[in-house]
Amino acid sequence: MKQKKLTCIAIISMVIIFLANLLASTEYNLSAVFLTGGGNLVDYLGVSKTTVFEQYQLYRLITYGFTQASVIHLLANSIALWFVGGFFEKYVGKTKLIIIFLVGLIIPGSGLAFLFPEGLHYGASPAIFALIGVLVSWALREKDLWKTYRAQMGFGYVVGYFFLGNILGVATLVFHLLGFGTGLLSGLVLKRKGYVNEHRLV
């Protein structure tokens, strides 16, 4: 658990914001909010073209990633983050985890706000897809990393998350592709120094 400290903090933050959204949305049908999304806090923390680029509420480019609309959304992203972010934190390092997670929110969030200006966007999935993109970028060049990650518990879930998460609509597909592409490019820029010497499988 200590090796996944930042990942735990991120997931706990997502759960707290989800519960706080329910408490702040008592005028709505809470069962509907719980199961399908919406609510006051989502409106305050989500990202859109108007809020970010016209009202300059730049904090939303970060907060939207910790705002999961429904319980299924929360569970799917929390589990994926546990397996992907946890692996990253353990084998790659906390600093790179933070960098890629934040870049994986800011770039896709900005892009989707322009491509779908009428929408309000939220969820950690673009950052998770960015982390996956980095791992894919590195694994294409380093077989040891691929073997190590395939051996991790949760690999099958992440594969299913990657493919099934992209059949939920055009905006979601674009959101995820922006995150994944950001990760692929980040993997070309960032080096994976320190991993092989400390964690190579024998």
DSSP bridge partners of 47: 121
Q: pLDDT confidence of 68, banded at 50, 70, 90?
A: very high
Show Cβ contacts of residue 200 under 8 Å, excluding neighbours closer than 6 positions: 144
**Amino acid at site 138:** W
pLDDT, position 200: 40
Residue 192 pLDDT > 80: no
Give the CATH number for residue 171: 1.20.1540.10
CB 82 within 8 A of CB 94: no
pLDDT, position 121: 93
pLDDT, position 2: 66
Residue 194 pLDDT > 70: no
Q: What whole-number distance in Å separates Cα of residue 26 and Cα of residue 40?
A: 9
Residue 114 pLDDT > 60: yes
Largest Cα–Cα separation, the chain: 58
Q: What is the pLDDT of residues 17-27, one digit of tens each?
A: 999 999 999 99
Print the domain residue range for 61. Answer: 2-199
What is the mean predicted confidence (pLDDT) over 43-71? 95
Q: pLDDT confidence of 167, banded at 50, 70, 90?
A: confident
Of 133 and 202, the structure prediction assigns the larger pLDDT to 133
Q: What is the pLDDT of residues 82-104, one digit of tens each?
A: 999 989 888 888 999 999 999 99
Q: What is the rounded average pLDDT for all residues in the chain?
A: 90
Of 109 and 202, the structure prediction assigns the larger pLDDT to 109
Rounded percentage of the chain residues whose pLDDT exceeds 90: 69
What is the mean predicted confidence (pLDDT) over 58-63? 97
Domains held by the chain: number: 1
Q: What whole-number distance in Å separates Cα of residue 16 and Cα of residue 10?
A: 10
pLDDT, position 139: 87
